[in-house]
Amino acid sequence: MQKFSANLIERIKRTPSIESFRFLAKEPVNFLAGQFLQFIFDPNNPDNKELNKYLSFSSSPAKKYIEVTKRLSDSQFSQHLRSLKVGDEVIIKAPFGSCVLKEGHKKIAFLIGGIGITPVVSILEDIQDKGLKIDVALFYSNRSEEEIAFKDEIFVLQAKNSNLKIFYTVTDCQPQDNRCIFGRIDKNLLAQRLPDYSERIFFIFGPPKMVEAMKNICLELRATQENIKTESFIGY
């Protein structure tokens, strides 16, 4: 576990409500793709859950910077992030989490909703950086097309990796992009689009209710508990 300071070097608007923040640390940061960090915006009160919150890395461990991505709300934590300017210094603790990629994995699938995509981007970049021959299927659900974070970036990764299959689903309106599917991630969609689901390890990131729903779908498909890896985003 490291506690270190880092300076904001760039902000990137991903969707109307989601923004990425890139930081340059004063020392090397060691983490695994899929892990997360904690911002210490109130160092005098470590138990302040409103300001000292957790966010996933949304960048590969090989990058010179570290990136986090958040759907900004009216919370104190979001307001603090929103107020950051390039050059500002923050205190970070990392890494946390055990829902990580292992190089021994041969076939994996991600079942993701909304901001749960952040650790997935870290893992996909890590696969690309290391040249790993892992068969990957990404199912990523959002309410609307405009809220699909990292859409273009993930398609770029797919263009470089023939082992990456992407299925974007949109739930609230008929998508204009014919690469998107109208509807939710459910048992039928997985059975139709992923005939080898029984051979895959499933990664599920997101809010607790979404994680539980996706886990139940995997269990309905008779995936074993050991092949279902989950990380719930609590209090984000």
CATH value at residue 179: 3.40.50.80
Does residue 101 fall inside a structural domain? Answer: no
DSSP 188-207: HHHHHH-TTGGG-EEEEEE-
Q: Is residue 111 domain-shared with residue 217, that is, in the same domain?
A: yes
Residue 75, domain extent: 2-96
Q: Is residue 171 domain-shared with residue 194, that is, in the same domain?
A: yes
Between CA 168 and CA 110 the distance in angstroms is: 11
Does residue 162 fall inside a structural domain? Answer: yes
Does residue 7 fall inside a structural domain? Answer: yes
3-state secondary structure of 159: helix
- Tell me how many domains the chain contains: 2
Does residue 53 fall inside a structural domain? Answer: yes
Alpha-helical runs (H) found in 35-116: 76-83
Q: Is residue 228 domain-shared with residue 129, that is, in the same domain?
A: yes
Q: Is residue 128 domain-shared with residue 176, that is, in the same domain?
A: yes
Burial class (CB in 10 A: 0-12, 13-18, 19+), 23: buried
Does residue 78 fall inside a structural domain? Answer: yes
Q: Are strands 18-25 and 180-182 parallel, antiparallel or unpaired?
A: unpaired
Of the residues 48, 66, 96, which one is the last residue of a structural domain? 96
HSE, side-chain direction, 13 A CA sphere, residue 124? 27
The per-residue pLDDT string of the chain (236 residues; one tens digit each, 9 = 90 and over) reads 899 999 999 999 999 999 999 999 988 999 999 999 999 999 999 999 999 999 999 999 999 999 999 999 999 999 999 999 999 999 999 999 999 988 788 999 999 999 999 999 999 999 999 999 999 999 999 999 989 999 999 999 999 999 999 999 999 888 777 778 888 999 999 999 999 999 999 999 988 999 999 999 999 999 999 999 999 887 55
Of the residues 50, 66, 96, which one is the last residue of a structural domain? 96
Of the residues 77, 96, 115, which one is the last residue of a structural domain? 96
Q: What is the pTM of this model?
A: 0.94
What is the residue type of 133? Answer: K
